[in-house]
Amino acid sequence: MSYETAANLLKRRGVSVESIAEIVYKLQKPYNPHLQLSECEESVIAVLRKREVQYTLYTGIALDELAERRLLPQPLQAIMEADESLYGVDETLALGITNVYGMIGLTSFGYLDKEKVGIIRTLNNKKSEIHVFLDDLVAGLAAAASARIAHAGQNAHEYAADSDQGEPAG
Amino acid sequence: MSYETAANLLKRRGVSVESIAEIVYKLQKPYNPHLQLSECEESVIAVLRKREVQYTLYTGIALDELAERRLLPQPLQAIMEADESLYGVDETLALGITNVYGMIGLTSFGYLDKEKVGIIRTLNNKKSEIHVFLDDLVAGLAAAASARIAHAGQNAHEYAADSDQGEPAG
Amino acid sequence: MSYETAANLLKRRGVSVESIAEIVYKLQKPYNPHLQLSECEESVIAVLRKREVQYTLYTGIALDELAERRLLPQPLQAIMEADESLYGVDETLALGITNVYGMIGLTSFGYLDKEKVGIIRTLNNKKSEIHVFLDDLVAGLAAAASARIAHAGQNAHEYAADSDQGEPAG
Amino acid sequence: MSYETAANLLKRRGVSVESIAEIVYKLQKPYNPHLQLSECEESVIAVLRKREVQYTLYTGIALDELAERRLLPQPLQAIMEADESLYGVDETLALGITNVYGMIGLTSFGYLDKEKVGIIRTLNNKKSEIHVFLDDLVAGLAAAASARIAHAGQNAHEYAADSDQGEPAG
């Protein structure tokens, strides 16, 4: 139920689950040659099922939409219209999504936010709309879905302690 | 200029600089017996002068005010009216304030947010208004101002390396 | 396998899963009158099964143990021995545990780190050992396990959008 | 004094202040055509003067050096030797540096950590040494120094409230 609410909200803002999955695919394919786009889509959906993620999306997208409708109080309205580069609340908010599969998501988030990959670039170029939050939220979603795939892969060894009763190595 | 904008915004929501300074005083007095309330007030003002802090306040307070005026889209409006305890965007946002003087602010933030000290409790009891964000923002301001006082104190020793060209101790 | 490695490591440092579960129980009981201690224990175990959490524990506890064995380079060795209150790396590290079930964990973390509840106080009083990291890590584990219980509870309503094709309320 | 300790420690690990300044210059030049390399160097030094930053450097570099000397307990020693990609403690720690001039630093941090710009690439290619933490710490330093330059620039407008006694715009 609430997954659909979140996915529909993204769709209303021009972002399909598939377009996020394509970013995840580009990020993870080099490390995972057998990766399928469908697995990336499943991973995005798993991220969108998390309540914390949904709540963050509702909040950030509401701010973008209210700015478009000029309903925000000043000076916030002006800051959002200018897409002020020193405004960091969008990055802060996205942090609540990026980390749902661990801090390794931080790297992909920053990279995507800077390089504006795929749908993030499309959003950024639509100058008639306000996407102060949405581009960071989508970068956060893609980063979290990538981290989830990385964790699910068999590429993490089991590292054993020397001995369970033992002393630390030295 | 923008300090006044931020302070006036807080005042409009029922929070004076003095009331935040009182929380800082309670937090820091045990570690700092000569601490004056005026120093705490200066520290709160220094935090409020930071652009990152101002932008975060503008955003969180706008969300509270829009919720009171029932201007938020659903389901966000309902979540804010219910003050849903699983909604963590307020904590996430406050993180952007709490840390402006380092991660040591995290401890005070969590403590204040749980114990509802001073003006934070007053806000929490005003059931006719919506303060989903404001209580966390005030806790973040007080935590950051406390961290600033702790850093300014002479209570941090200078820890010297064994030798500047030297090898690590072992 | 790696859950046991993490649990044994905590045990070696004097912290049982049960003692962390007791903190979770104290935190969550007021919101959840039917809560059983066994559920809290399960929740702590679920947190300890996460790789990110295990890696963070390995790192923080290694630093404590190396400090006890005086193997850290200066000036870090001196900072750890002094349990320097302005050292915030322990809080930073614990953030990687606290948030595995969302940012709502921040509040409990800070509260526990300040109030030194249960085993955290015991650790803090053992002045012959070094627990710069361990007390924050345990606070982070208890905060994450509490957040997990809160999320699992039926206390979150399903908030519906006005309509899936609809416009935001206004 | 402690700035020199931090700078010398970086130098011992093969990282000069100049090499970090060069990364900052590459990041900020497109937004700031009159930027001088010397300003970037000043900004790196300002970041290194912060106690929180110094403490984080001491900790991360100690872990790298102890891993090279095989003094870490298992399984941490094996994780560090493998430079396990799912180990996120290096990103977590670097967060304590990245954010000292606000959350806008997150984007540059992730970008640098992924693209391995300048000295970060050099570190990454030295396979005989262990730089699990150092590359993230340098990315964090460069990101924070960039954020500092961005904040210092005159490129942020003063956004005024409609009126200091006024109601929010609507």
- Tens of pLDDT, residue by residue over D83-103, are 999 999 999 999 999 999 999
Residue D165 has pLDDT above 60, yes or no: no
Quote ipTM for the complex.
Answer: 0.91
Please give, rounded to a whole number of angstroms, the shortest distance from the CA of A126 to a CA of chain B.
22
Q: Which residues of D touch A70 (CB under 8 A)?
A: 169
* The two structure tokens encoding residue A148: 């989830």
What confidence score (pLDDT) does residue C94 get? 96
Instruction: Give the count of Cβ contacts less than 8 A between chain A and D.
Output: 139
- Give the up-direction half-sphere exposure of residue D40: CA atoms within 13 A in the CB hemisphere: 24
Selected residues 54-73 of chain A with any CB under 8 Å from a CB in chain D: 70-73
Q: Which residue has the higher pLDDT, C170 or D2?
A: D2
Distances (CA, A) of C147 to B1, B18, C67: 40, 33, 31
Q: How far apart are CA A132 and CA A125, in angstroms?
A: 12
Please give, rounded to a whole number of angstroms, the shortest distance from the CA of A131 to a CA of chain B.
15
Contact B89 A51 (CB under 8 A): no
Please give, rounded to a whole number of angstroms, the shortest distance from the CA of B53 to a CA of chain D.
9
To which residue do tokens 């210092």 refer? D152
pTM, rounded to two decimals:
0.93
What confidence score (pLDDT) does residue A1 get? 54
**C58, closest residue in chain A (CA to CA):** A161
Contact C92 D88 (CB under 8 A): no
Instruction: Give B72's DSSP letter.
Output: S
Name the residue among D72, D111, D151 with its Cβ closest to that of A114: D111
Q: Tell whether B152 lies on the interface with C, counting CB pairs under 8 A.
A: no
For residue A137, give the amino acid letter.
L
| Residues C75, C60 contacting (CB under 8 angstroms) | no
Residue D153 has pLDDT above 90, yes or no: no
| Per-residue pLDDT band at D126 (split at 50, 70, 90) | confident
Residue D156 has pLDDT above 60, yes or no: no
| Per-residue pLDDT band at C155 (split at 50, 70, 90) | low
Q: How far apart are CA C157 and CA C162, in angstroms?
A: 15
Residue D132 has pLDDT above 60, yes or no: yes
Please give, rounded to a whole number of angstroms, the shortest distance from the CA of A6 to a CA of chain D.
24
Considering chain B, what percentage of its residues have pLDDT values greater than 70?
92
Name the residue among D50, D103, D170 with its Cβ closest to that of B52: D103
What confidence score (pLDDT) does residue A146 get? 97
What confidence score (pLDDT) does residue B154 get? 56
Contact C5 A160 (CB under 8 A): yes
- B112-144 burial, b for 16+ CB within 10 Å, e for fewer? bbbbebbbbeebeeeeeebbbbbbbbbbbbbbb
**C59, closest residue in chain D (CA to CA):** D76
Each residue's pLDDT expressed in tens, for chain A with a length of 170 residues: 589 999 999 999 999 999 999 999 999 999 999 999 999 999 999 999 999 999 999 999 999 999 999 999 999 999 999 999 999 999 999 999 999 999 999 999 999 999 999 999 999 888 889 999 999 999 999 999 999 999 987 555 677 776 443 334 33
As a whole number, mean pLDDT of residues C20-37 equals: 96
What confidence score (pLDDT) does residue A30 get? 94
Q: How far apart are CA B143 and CA B139, in angstroms?
A: 6
Q: Tell whether A3 lies on the interface with B, counting CB pairs under 8 A.
A: no
